Chain A
Amino acid sequence: MKVNVVKNVLRANDIVAQENRSVFKDKGVLALNLISSPGSGKTTLLEKTLPVLSPDKSIVLVGDLETTRDAERVAPHALNATQINTGLSCHLYANQIAQSLSALPLDDAQYLFIENVGNMVCPGEFDLGENLKIILLSVPEGDDKVAKYPTIFRVADLILLTKCELLDILPFDVQRVKEDLAKLNSNTTLLPFSSFKGDGMDVWIDWLKQKRQESIGAQAKFVTE
């Protein structure tokens, strides 16, 4: 017997992601999904960003295969830091976020940073309900990564070129990365960034504040209409 199904395999995840998105909207929280290869500097970025942005208004959810190390590192700088151990799953699912939300102080928060599991491929398939996807590409990874992982870079709202102080000592052709990106998405931005030296920090903080304004501004308008 043949059964015609015609069912979107990722739909179940997408439905939960939409529910998460409406929770973030209700609470006026800007949710950011941080995606990169292992070790590109996601946790360090958060350690440096939160104190400048608004330590008592930021929540961090960290997905990791094992350990609570990353959550411990950001906890001193955050309103709340929660680790989701994904076991052997190489990415977060929307329902892992959904299950965490009830325990989070969302009423008091303005930003929710989700540090995804270090991986450039699978997180692109699984919408978490975030407002924006931030991709980190670190200089030591090499300038061919956009060409190798085009799918994730195409959907990025912002790309941080992390560890950019190493541009002085490592061979890395920024122009090549820009050209590869331009073929994928005319609207994307590449921001050279160094958590160690502070490059790009001001632009990044302003960008976050502006994006939050845009998202809650849209909501305020909705309420008054």
Chain B
Amino acid sequence: MFYSYHHIFILPFTVNLFTLEIMHEMSIVTVLIDQVIDIAQRNRLKDVQVVVLVAGQLRQVVPEMMQEAFKAVIPGTIVEGAVLRVEAEAALVRCRACQAEYQPDVDDFICRSCQKADVEILRGNDIILKTIEGNK
């Protein structure tokens, strides 16, 4: 199920763009595009115009790179020509030591109340396919 994506790496990018950074978004887009096509087909869409993704802050997704990766995988699919919108979702965590809830930074999870860094993540850790739009 995950193996059939080699075509996506025939890239319209230059090699220096094809760094770890773009690979990160690429690895997510590779999974995403499969799901978009599946949902479009089940809803009998003949094309897809807009895909809206919610990216949790803790996933460190760069929207522009996501869009580049998206453009690279859609040619030849029913998603060709679609626009990808990436909405950011801020992170929210709860301190396991003192139960305080706060918004961390990706590189700083220290509790604003007790100075520990030991958290349960409440929000901002997921990548959600929110909506797709297309024509029947």
Contacts and interface: CB of A to CB of B under 8 A. Distances in A.
Nearest to B36: A5
Decide if the interface of chain A is mainly helix, strand, loop or mixed.
Answer: mixed
B20 A121 contact: yes
A90 B133 CA distance: 30
B117 to A, nearest CB: 5
A4 interface: yes
Contact of B129 (A6, A122, A187): A6
A159 B39 CA distance: 40
Interface in A136-191: 147, 150-151, 154, 180, 182-187
Contacts of B20: 90, 119-122
B107 A180 contact: yes
Contact of B21 (A93, A121, A180, A185): A121
A8 B127 contact: yes
Interface string A80-93: 00000001111101
Given A12-B31, A122-B23, A150 B107 contact: yes
Given A1-B133, A5-B129, A5-B132, A121 B39 contact: no
Contacts of B35: 7, 9, 12
Nearest to A118: B20
Interface magnitude class on chain A: 35 or more
Interface in B106-122: 106-110, 116-118
B99 interface: no
B27 interface: yes
B24 A122 contact: yes
A2 B131 contact: yes
B1 interface: yes
A155 to B, nearest CB: 10
B45 interface: yes
Interface in A56-115: 87-91, 93, 95-96
A135 to B, nearest CB: 15
Contacts, number: 112
Contacts of A13: 31
A183 B129 contact: no
A10 B20 CA distance: 19
B106 A150 contact: yes
A96 B39 CA distance: 24
Interface string B13-48: 000000011011011101110010001100101000
A25 B53 CA distance: 35
A123 to B, nearest CB: 9
A223 interface: no
6 contacts: A1-B43, A9-B35, A93-B2, A95-B1, A121-B20, A183-B109
Interface of B: 1-3, 5-6, 9, 20-21, 23-24, 26-28, 30-32, 35, 39-40, 43, 45, 53, 58-60, 106-110, 116-118, 126-136
Given A7-B128, A125-B59, A182-B117, 7 more contacts: A1-B45, A1-B133, A95-B2, A121-B24, A150-B106, A184-B117, A186-B116
